[in-house]
Structure 1
Amino acid sequence: MKAILFAAGLGTRLKPFTDNHPKALAVVNGKTLLERNIEYLKSFGINEFVINVHHFTDQIKDFLGSKNNFGVTIHISDESDEVLETGGGLVKARKFLENDTFLVMNVDILTDLDITHLIQVHEKHKPIVTLAVSDRTSSRKLLFEKDMWLKGWKNHSTGEKIIESDEVLIEFAFSGIHIIEPELFAMLPKSGKFSIMTNYMELMKSEIIMGYDHSGGKLVDVGRPESVTEAEKMFV
């Protein structure tokens, strides 16, 4: 299985580090987020990666070169002209991904999620997308029926919500990892800047999008300076 690491974001929450560096090169206990997640996914047998880049692109390319690409195949999807968000970034990288099931991961997520089991669950049920989720504090939650089919979204800070079910729904926070079938590309805009989650909210009306609950495991969104300290306590 191939993986795409989303590394093109500006990382504004991680300032002042990101004033001069990409967030992918933020360091946790002596290792960059990029290195940690390549090694993490490699440990589950993933050896071909796509990395989308925008902010301080050359720093990421130079870092990968200095590490001989960590012994894996790496394709760069260059968004130097404009950061395309998650959906647009995925579509731009389509040529690297469209032939097989693939994994998507935000580069600023650190977790101990069992990728092998996530893939097994996805292959058993064969949804168009499987989203890794957990029961943790977050202002934005995805809403699922008891069979873990995605049926909505809610922003607890603003009160905004989208609900496509009459059932009592279970709330989970998205963990920044998805398994995607390549058929999804035919259901997305062909280009442009857009959020993949916005499209999921439409597609859940006609397609099966599942949640994979990994509550109880480790997960840190290394998006703020204080979260680096939190991550260093959990990931050696």
Structure 2
Amino acid sequence: MILAAGLGTRLRPLTDDRPKALVEVAGHTLLEIALNRLRTFGVRDVIVNAHHYADKMIEYLKANANFGMRIEISREEVLLDTGGGLKKAAHFFLETDENSREPFLLHNVDVISTIDLARMMQFHRANDALATLAVQARETSRYLLFDDRGELCGRQTVSAASEEAELVRIAEDAEPLAFSGIHVISPRLFSKMEEDGVFSIISTYLRLAAREEKILAFRADDSYWRDLGRPEHILQAAEDIRDGRYSLA
């Protein structure tokens, strides 16, 4: 699933007349870049949530023959946030026989990276995790906290004025790591989602971590990663592509 329903307010004025998924980097839309990357790892079936200028996204996909993939749109009349958006799209992942349901990727449309998604999926399966989150040791204002087994145990918010930590279970030396916006999720998560309406998937993860469910960190410290949430980030990503630090191929 590609999360693409946000208003893209941080990207204004680029999103004044289009969804953030159709903002371009080096001549390619964020949606095209995300789809091509997923296809590189063998993904052929994708659901994309949409809200802001949803019709433009639908027309764009139709004009590009869905980039040769099976793509379904989950249209949100009201923005549901990451957790609500995923829960609304649950049918897409539960349409097969229960015994054959495979883990799936959840990917923000406004990030690019060289994170090895195949290795991440393998790590998730090998550890029988409920969810696996790609994380890095880099500076951010919002950290997730992981214990010495790499299991989620809390979160931390950092500002110029203060640091606030929330631990959902006891953990010594919890390590703060920056989340990349890329998840591998087991479909059994849906039966454990008690939240309804508008909610963050991180809140669900923290509630489940408090119940000893296995929400794991996948370390991707050596991978290229960039958030594309602001116009200056788009310009920097285009420069990275020109300089060979990131490839769209």
Give TM-score, length-normalised by structure 2. Answer: 0.90
Q: Which residue of 2 aligns with 1:101?
A: 103
Q: Which residue of 2 aligns with 1:56?
A: 53
Q: Tell me, yes or no, if the aligned pair for 2:153 and 2:171 is still in contact at 8 Å.
A: no
1:155-180 deviation line (CA, Å, top 9, x unaligned):
01253321122310111100000011
- Number of equivalenced pairs: 232
Q: Tell me, yes or no, if the aligned pair for 2:143 and 2:156 is still in contact at 8 Å.
A: yes
1:232 counterpart SS class: helix
Question: Letter of the aligned partner of 2:164 in structure 1?
Answer: E
| 1:199 and 2:204 are equivalent in the alignment | yes
Q: Tell me, yes or no, if the aligned pair for 1:91 and 1:190 is still in contact at 8 Å.
A: no
1:127 counterpart SS class: coil
2:48 counterpart SS class: strand
| 1:153 and 2:137 are equivalent in the alignment | no
Q: Which residue of 1 aligns with 2:98?
A: none
Per the TM alignment, residue 183 of structure 1 is displaced from its structure 2 partner at its CA by 0.8
Query: Alignment partner for residue 217 of structure 1, among 223, 226, 230?
Result: 223
The gaps in structure 2 that reach 5 residues or longer are 95-100, 242-246
Q: Tell me, yes or no, if the aligned pair for 2:195 and 2:204 is still in contact at 8 Å.
A: no
Q: Which residue of 2 aligns with 1:167?
A: 172
Question: Letter of the aligned partner of 1:39 in structure 2?
Answer: N
1:115-154 deviation line (CA, Å, top 9, x unaligned):
1100110010011000000111101101111221111100
Once the two structures are overlaid, the 10-residue window that deviates more, 159-168 or 52-61, is: 159-168
Q: Which residue of 2 aligns with 1:91?
A: 87
Q: Following the alignment from structure 1 to structure 2, what is the Cα–Cα distance between the partners of residues 174 and 135?
A: 9
| 1:111 and 2:113 are equivalent in the alignment | yes
Q: Following the alignment from structure 2 to structure 1, what is the Cα–Cα distance between the partners of residues 93 and 191?
A: 13
Q: Tell me, yes or no, if the aligned pair for 1:22 and 1:56 is still in contact at 8 Å.
A: yes
Query: Alignment partner for residue 124 of structure 2, among 122, 125, 144?
Result: 122
2:135 counterpart SS class: strand
Q: Which residue of 2 aligns with 1:132?
A: 134
Give TM-score, length-normalised by structure 1. Answer: 0.95
The gaps in structure 1 that reach 5 residues or longer are none
Q: Which residue of 2 aligns with 1:15?
A: 12
Q: Tell me, yes or no, if the aligned pair for 1:218 and 1:234 is still in contact at 8 Å.
A: no
Q: Which residue of 2 aligns with 1:26?
A: 23
Change (3 A) 1:137 1:192: same
1:210 counterpart SS class: strand
Q: Following the alignment from structure 2 to structure 1, what is the Cα–Cα distance between the partners of residues 140 and 93?
A: 30
Q: Which residue of 1 aligns with 2:244?
A: none
Query: Alignment partner for residue 77 of structure 1, among 63, 74, 91?
Result: 74
Question: Letter of the aligned partner of 1:97 in structure 2?
Answer: F
Question: Letter of the aligned partner of 1:233 in structure 2?
Answer: E
Q: Tell me, yes or no, if the aligned pair for 1:88 and 1:194 is still in contact at 8 Å.
A: yes
Query: Alignment partner for residue 39 of structure 1, among 36, 41, 44?
Result: 36
Per the TM alignment, residue 218 of structure 1 is displaced from its structure 2 partner at its CA by 0.8
1:136 counterpart SS class: coil
What fraction of aligned residue pairs are identical, expressed as a percent? 40
Q: Following the alignment from structure 1 to structure 2, what is the Cα–Cα distance between the partners of residues 182 and 22?
A: 28
Q: Tell me, yes or no, if the aligned pair for 1:5 and 1:49 is still in contact at 8 Å.
A: yes
Question: Letter of the aligned partner of 1:201 in structure 2?
Answer: L
Q: Following the alignment from structure 1 to structure 2, what is the Cα–Cα distance between the partners of residues 198 and 88?
A: 11
2:177 counterpart SS class: strand
Q: Following the alignment from structure 2 to structure 1, what is the Cα–Cα distance between the partners of residues 63 and 33?
A: 15
Taking only aligned residues, the RMSD between alpha carbons, in angstroms, comes to 1.1
1:80-122 deviation line (CA, Å, top 9, x unaligned):
x201000100010010012431110000010111111001100
1:38-87 deviation line (CA, Å, top 9, x unaligned):
000100000100000000001100110111000000011010x2010001
